[in-house]
Structure formats: structure tokens, C-alpha cells
Structure 1
């Protein structure tokens, strides 16, 4: 199947709207409070998401939709992983784990390229943990409306 440039730009940003967020842990030392017992009852605050990489990969309108999906679906994935956790809106909430969803786009949204989704956790003690994973653009496009949930659920499964 051959995709022309206009079709690529039409189909693949839709995949971004639906697929924001999952990745595996890199080589890092986990903080003491990075465990299932602590996280399962923690308060999480989802910070403003960020798209890094090629800023022209999607239009401004598509970018806004992607950012909204990243924030909403990352919170949903954490809540599904830890049903007793609280998702708060105040970044200054005492003792809250701050989570920043990040999506790194390739230079061109071609079916064979990969996106990197990550969740950056800032623990109350100041430690940082980053979960990230690469996803094929074509794979995410195939997920359509479930792409963002898919990515964030994959990342959330890697939480302790």
C-alpha cells in the first residue's frame, strides 16, 4: 500500500489523537516510594502534556486534540491501573505525584516511523521516574479511536 503525502498527513495525525502515551522504563534507579503499595493509593496530578519533535507534523487544531487526549487518557490509564488512586487537578496538591505526558514525534509521520510516548513522574520527594516506549505510527493508526488508551495502558502496565 502506498500512501501519498496528503493522505499520510490526514491519517496519521488522527492516530496521534487516539494514541497518546506509553513507554518502558529506561535504566534508572527507582525511588523508595516507587512501589505498588504507595502508588495504588497515591494522588496523581496530570500536568500539561507536551509534544516534542517535529512541530509541523500536525496542524495547530490537530495538536490541540492530541494534547487533550494525552491528558485525559493518561489519567484514565493510571486510574485503571490503580482504582483507589485519586486524580487531582491542583499541581500544588500536597504529596501528589506529578505526571507529565510527553509525545515525541518523528521528523515525518510515515507509516514506518515511530513515535515515543512517555510518562514523566515527579515523586513528592523530588525523585523523577520516566516510563517510555516507542510505537509504530502504522500500529497506532490501526488502533484508531483506541490508540491513546492503548499507548497509556501499555505504559501503565509497567507501573509497579
Structure 2
């Protein structure tokens, strides 16, 4: 009777390394390399922390009938107020101006993209569209679950824009 052949112990770790290699490559591909992800001029923490911002009229895109006209007006007011508050909390030395013609101001438009139906499993996209004084545009956006925002109730816009402001440089 012959004894069954066994795989030598030295080859087992090599197989594990090969199996982990694709995951390591995916992780490495997701990480920025040096300044390859640098933004436009003026899109850095030093410039943004002391900038003057003008919050432009917010927009709701997507299904306009997802909420009533009265609810829509309340959402738009919260978007304007809470996006300004989130920027001010992120950059305490920033100035929030009201005149869109303010020289050198960063113009910010809060936008909410609604799904076709406000079902608990759907997502809304909140974004801040920045127009820098040099004319460059930068959009910061993130998806939020309808159920998550419903749980925040009156603080939903505040929550969304605080999350977006934390993604600023």
C-alpha cells in the first residue's frame, strides 16, 4: 500500500500569498499616489479655510414630486442654511457672504438629487458645487440612504452637509 502524497508545508504559504495578491493590488490601486490627485489652484485647506463663501440658491434635481411644494420649500431653506453652517464649522475662519457678486468669493451651490420614489431602500445624492475665484469648478458629492435621512428628521440637511464638509481639504 502506498502512502497518499502530501503537499509539502513550504508551498502552502505561497498559495495564500497568491490568493491575497489581487486584494492587495485593488487596495493599492485605490490609494492616491503622491500629488496625482491634486485639485485645481485654490483647492487646498489653507486657501479654503480663510476664504469667503457665497451660498447660491440650492437646487433639487430628480423627481420634483417626491415631496409637496411646502416640504420642498423647507428643504431648500435647510439646504442653504445648513450648507453654510457646515462650511463654517469646517473652516471657522471662513466668511459667509450673501452677495453673489462678492469679489474673490467661492460660490457654492447645494444640490440634492432625489430618486424617482422616496422608498427606504433608495438613495439621495447630496452635493456641493464649488466655483473657485479662478473659475475652476469642483463638485463634492455623496449618496445617503433615504431611511438614514428620515431618521435624522429636522437635522437631515445638517447631517448631509457636515459629512460633505468633512471631505473638503
Moved beyond 4 Å, runs of 4+ = none
Query: 1:158 matched to which residue of 2?
Result: 167
- RMSD value, Cα: 1.0
> Which of residues 105, 118, 124 is equivalent to 1:109?
118
Aligned residues: 133
* Structure whose alpha-carbon radius of gyration is higher: 2
Structure 1 segments unaligned to the other structure (5+ residues):
1-27
Q: TM-score, normalised by structure 1?
A: 0.81
Query: 2:84 matched to which residue of 1?
Result: 75
Matched, 1:32 2:41: yes
Say which structure, 1 or 2, has more relative contact order (CA 8 Å, 6+ apart).
1
Residue by residue, what CA displacement relative to the aligned partner does 1:117-148 show, whole Å, maximum 9, x if unpaired? 00000000100000000000001111112211
Pairing of 1:1-160 with structure 2 (within 5 A) = 30-160=39-169
SS at match of 2:65: coil
Q: Return the alpha-carbon distance in structure 1 between the equivalents of residues 163 and 152 of structure 2.
A: 13
Q: TM-score, normalised by structure 2?
A: 0.77
Structure 2 segments unaligned to the other structure (5+ residues):
1-36
